[in-house]
Amino acid sequence: MGRKSKLNINTGIQSRIISNFGIVILLLVTIIEITLIIGITNYYYGGVEQILRDRITVSSDFLNSYSNYSSVDTKARLFFETSSNTYNNSFLVQFIDLNKNLVLDSNGFSENVEINTVDVNAALENKPMIYRGKNSANQENIMAVSRPLIRYGNIDGAIRFIVSLEKIEKEMQKLISFSIIIGLIFIGIFILISAFVSNTIVKPIKKLNEVAEEFAKGNFKAKAEKIYNDEVGVLADTMNFMADEIKNTDKIKNDFISSISHELRTPLTSIKGWSETLQYYEQVKKDSDIALGLSIISTESERLQNMVEELLDFSRFQSNRMKMKKKPIDVKKVITQIYKQFSNKRSSISLMCNLTGEDTCIYADSDRLKQVYINLVSNAIKFTPDGGSIELSAVGYEDKIVTSVKDTGIGIKQDEIPKITQKFYKLSSSIQGNGLGLSIVDEIVRLHDAKMEIVSEEGKGSEFIITFPAYKEDTKGEELIDKNINLDEKND
Ligand code: ADP
- Count the residues in the chain: 492
Q: How far does residue 271's CA lie from ligand 1's centre (Å)?
A: 28
Q: Residue whose CA is closest, atom 2 of ligand 1?
A: 437
Looking at mean pLDDT, say which of 66-75, 193-202, 326-335 comes out highest.
326-335
Question: pTM score, two decimals?
Answer: 0.57
Q: Is the CB of 426 under 6 A from ligand 1?
A: yes
pLDDT at residue 199, rounded to an integer: 86
* Whether 422 contacts 413, CB under 8 Å: no
pLDDT band at 35 (very low <50, low <70, confident <90, very high): very high
Task: Tell which one of 376, 378, 438 to mutate to probe ligand 1, the residue whose CB is within 8 A of the most ligand atoms.
Answer: 438
Which residues is 396 bridged to in the sheet? Answer: 401
Q: Is the CB of 433 under 6 A from ligand 1?
A: yes
Distance CA 310, CA 446 (A): 17
Q: Which residue has the higher pLDDT, 430 or 479?
A: 430
Which residues is 402 bridged to in the sheet? Answer: 395, 467
Asked if pLDDT for residue 414 goes beyond 60, the answer is: yes
Lowest mean pLDDT among 85-94, 180-189, 327-336: 85-94
pLDDT at residue 7, rounded to an integer: 54
Distance CA 44, CA 50 (A): 10
Closest by CA to 421, choosing from 368, 372, 383, 468, is 372
Q: Is the CB of 233 under 6 A from ligand 1?
A: no
Cα radius of gyration (the chain)? 50
Distance CA 305, CA 311 (A): 10
Q: How far does residue 186's CA lie from ligand 1's centre (Å)?
A: 65
**Average pLDDT of the chain?**
86
Closest by CA to 57, choosing from 145, 150, 152, is 145
Lowest mean pLDDT among 89-98, 103-112, 161-170, 240-249: 103-112
Lowest mean pLDDT among 183-187, 310-314, 478-482: 478-482
Lowest mean pLDDT among 89-93, 198-202, 301-305, 346-350: 89-93
Looking at mean pLDDT, say which of 34-38, 64-68, 323-327 comes out highest.
34-38
Distance CA 279, CA 277 (A): 5
Q: Residue 34 burial (CB < 10 Å; 0-12/13-18/19+)?
A: exposed
Q: Is the CB of 25 under 6 A from ligand 1?
A: no
pLDDT at residue 317, rounded to an integer: 82
Distance CA 479, CA 21 (A): 66
Q: How far does residue 348's CA lie from ligand 1's centre (Å)?
A: 20
> If phi over 0 gives left and psi between -120 and 50 gives alpha, with beta otherwise, what is residue 399?
alpha
pLDDT at residue 85, rounded to an integer: 55
Q: Which residue has the higher pLDDT, 214 or 483?
A: 214
Angle at 202 between CA 198 and CA 208, to 5 degrees: 160
Q: Residue whose CA is closest, atom 11 of ligand 1?
A: 426
